[in-house]
A and B are shown apart, each in its own frame.
Chain A
Amino acid sequence: MSFLAPFYLLLGGAIAVPLLLHLLRRRIGARLEFPAARYLLRAEKENSRTLRIRNLLLMMLRIAALLAITVAAARPVARWLGAGHGPTALAIVVDNSLSSSVVVDGRPLLDQFKGMARDVLSSATPADRVWLVTIDGHVRGGTPAVLRDEVNRLEAIAGAGDPTTALARAASVVRAAGLEAKQVALLTDGQRTEWQGTPSIADAQVLVYVPNARPPANRAVTLAEARPTRWTPRGSVAARFLSHDSTTYRITLNNRTFTRGTAAPNEEVVVHASPPERGWLAGTVELEPDELAGDNVRNFAVWIGSAPGVNGLPSAGPFVKSALDVLRSSERVVDGHDIAVTGADELSTLPALITAPLDPVRLGAANRALERAGIPWRFGTRRAGDAAVRGAGFEGVNTAVRYDLVAQTGAVAETLAVVGRDAWVVAGPRYVIVGSSLTPDATNFPVRASFVPWLGSVLTERLVGEPGQVLETEPGARMPRPRWADGFETVDGQRTPLGDVLEAPSRAGTFFLTRNGRRVGALVVNGRPSESQLEQFSAKDLSDRLHAARTLVAPDASAWSSMAFRGAARRSLLETALLVALILLATEAVLIGVRPRRMA
């Protein structure tokens, strides 16, 4: 037992009053003339034993009553007795991850969690501090009534959330409350893939509830991807499904179904398409709804435009010409003047894929052409000798002859490949520069199998249309704002300016990134595919993973509700102490006898 207001225990000194009255009663009191004093003396003599016992009993009753009142004033709390609960800092962590939206026994699991959270909030007292923490780490504070409204508005997010962060924040807020009783009450489905971390919660008790119900068999879309992300205008959609048997799917683009089909379990389906739409579009791969509806849809984004017209100049070399023929035959590009592929010395228009001049004597002309085009890069010192190229898609590529790429003031570019510490391929707005001529005596890149796809990617993705791209992320994730975007367009078309940090919405979907009001890219928000693997930890296993000061496992929902607050807080003995004091005083009154209202 402990006391919330121990200073009031000093009132216990008041027990000296009845003690002194009892011990000194022969020496204090008024002097009253009373002729029948002899009767009084006789009464005391004849009843001395009874009176002594009675006085002793009265004294003890009064002392006990004073002690009970003193204890009540000090607001006692104890674990083993009492009613209600003492002031508690309680953070309710509700797992509203994608997997918690699974329907069990005809009811979403999250609805059960919300009901339990509301019950616990209803039992909060004004002395309690309460918070609601969702699995994505968002902390909401306020009165129980406010938090009940928050609970009512709670929806499942599209991803797994961040349980470790959520628990850490819950522990942090209850610790900062400064109350003795601290509890983190966790409601989760115990999804294994979600609880891979080992959250550490020092000096706070964790109350865990994991439903015992076995999760249903789940079907999910685990992959939805446009290949490539820029279609000119042909492309394909790749999809994969989690299912125990064959499943039918539907693929939509810009809210239009363009294909349906049946897929075998874990089979990757690739659907080719050449849609008539143009621009940045949103698409989905969908399954028939099941118990976990949140993962039956997966989003993707694609840019669709006409095949760019490419003008391959002789200065780019013969291998480039051959590669362009291949791309033309596959309708990735057409003849035209949208994009130039040229040696730097013959550069006249942008956008362009620019290679180093074939003849070193043309270096000066090349740099002047770059300057005229406004490109902040120059060819520098010529380097000869074999050197390996490093970069994505450049595996096995070497150079024999190359030029240093020298950045000029204000150069903003993306380095796609390096040789040693020097840039070899850089990309900027509407240009890509290669530090060697694309000939076999300068580099083996043109003769490698990766050359044609790379060239196609550069021509159809980097040098055509807007400079943006597709960003894929999970719900609630935060990332730096991409340089090429300044705005954000929601699903319903509302646009907001972007800050320095781009925070993904908590719901899945395709959201477009804009620049100067035009779509330049997309943010595709999908849940983690592993969330669809409905395997859960038992409450015991999960509690073992939590590094908490004390962990309580609620066997069922009602137990969780009753253990919240009480598990951590000591129960108040105030009412008990007052009741004891009342009983003692009533006993004393009975012992003394009811004072007659009037004399006979």
Chain B
Amino acid sequence: MESTRALRADLFDPASLAALGRIEIVARWIVDGFMSGLHRSPRKGFSVEFAEYRPYQPGDDLRYVDWKIAARSDRWVVRQYEEETNLRASIVLDVSRSMAWSGALMRAGASGAAEPRGRDATTVAQLTKLEYAERLTAALALLLLRQRDAVGLVRFDERIRTAVAPRARNGQWRRIVASLEEPGAGRASSAADALSQAARLISRRGLIVLVSDLLMEMEEVQTAMRGLRALGHDVTVLHIMDPAERELPGGGEAVFIDPESELSVPASIADVRAAYKKTVDEVIAEWRSMFGGLGIGYEIVSTDAPFGVPLRQAFAARQMLP
């Protein structure tokens, strides 16, 4: 299993993986690894067509091994299927200033000498939430495109920065990747407008994936989501969170400043940590409840988790994977 894990980029440490190349390269590795690790197609049956063979890899479901070929040629291959689909998906990416933040320094200060050898503070989840989300978005788009789905992208902060209409044609993914490199990081997150824009870009029922840290007003998001659901769209929310936002590591006294609203909160970290964690859990529960009530998938994505984890979280439940 170790050798398999080593070959699969989707299971790499995200920060280490991101340091190896540009977004599109990293995204390809992620998707390749992710695809190779799939155990079964959730959509098999008459609507699924055989696509190709590929060599068997440890971890593959033995049900898809072609035993006839194995008997004839002593080669183990697995069958892969291609779904006939007309899914149109739009990824809505939050690029506000709050996303351009990493808690690496806070975590490094908290862990100190307790960190294992060879992993200094600079290599600990140095990806900002936005960097993580961009790579995740690229990988997600590539994954969908490989399923012959049409994929679009909407980037937003206090306004919509980018709107790429969903397409399944060649070059769509490159357009999306190019769009990811455009500037953003505005002072606010206007998710409602972005979600409406995404809905407009999808002419018929489709999939909308919101990738955001959800540091925004819940009522606005709820209103927008209700509209999307009313239009029949499937919606999935990937809630990007830095581990430091979950745990509030470190110690001492500090004034905490929200880079978007410039809200400043003085606090003694050690004193308030427990209450903060409790509050974060409550907020997550509120989001989960709200999205659950609307039939919307909701997953917490930690920026120190390998990219394969959120990909699986996002789609395994919706059975959208090949």
Contact = CB atoms under 8 A, between A and B. Distances in A.
B62 interface: no
B255 A43 contact: no
**What's the dominant secondary structure at chain A's contact region?**
mixed
A549 interface: no
Given A33-B101, A599-B107, A599-B111, A38 B215 contact: yes
Contacts of A26: 266
A17 interface: no
Given A38-B261, A39-B280, A599-B247, A25 B253 contact: yes
A329 B259 CA distance: 138
B111 A597 contact: yes
A31 B257 contact: yes
Contacts of B276: 39-40, 43
A107 interface: no
B42 interface: no
Interface residues of A, number: 36
B114 to A, nearest CB: 5
A598 to B, nearest CB: 6
Interface string B176-213: 00000000000000000000000000000000000001
Interface stretch (B167-175, B219-227, B238-246): B238-246
A31 B255 contact: yes
Interface stretch (A45-53, A174-182, A262-270): A45-53
Contacts of A36: 215, 245, 258, 280
B14 to A, nearest CB: 14
A29 interface: yes
A518 interface: no
A10 interface: no
Interface in B247-266: 247-249, 251-261, 263-266
B114 A58 contact: no
A37 B247 contact: no
B215 A596 contact: no
A28 B266 CA distance: 8
A43 B280 CA distance: 8
B252 A29 contact: yes
Interface stretch (B50-58, B79-87, B267-275): B267-275
A46 B276 CA distance: 10
A44 B272 contact: yes
A29 B274 contact: no
A41 to B, nearest CB: 5
Interface in B69-104: 97-99, 101
Interface in A446-464: none
B35 interface: no
B256 A32 contact: yes
B271 A54 contact: yes
Interface of B: 97-99, 101, 106-107, 110-111, 114-115, 213, 215, 243-249, 251-261, 263-268, 270-276, 278-280, 283, 302, 304
16 contacts: A25-B268, A29-B253, A32-B255, A34-B257, A35-B97, A35-B215, A38-B261, A39-B245, A39-B276, A43-B279, A51-B272, A58-B271, A595-B249, A596-B110, A598-B114, A600-B247
The 9 closest A-B pairs by CB, nearest first: A29-B253, A35-B98, A43-B279, A37-B258, A34-B256, A47-B275, A43-B275, A599-B243, A43-B276
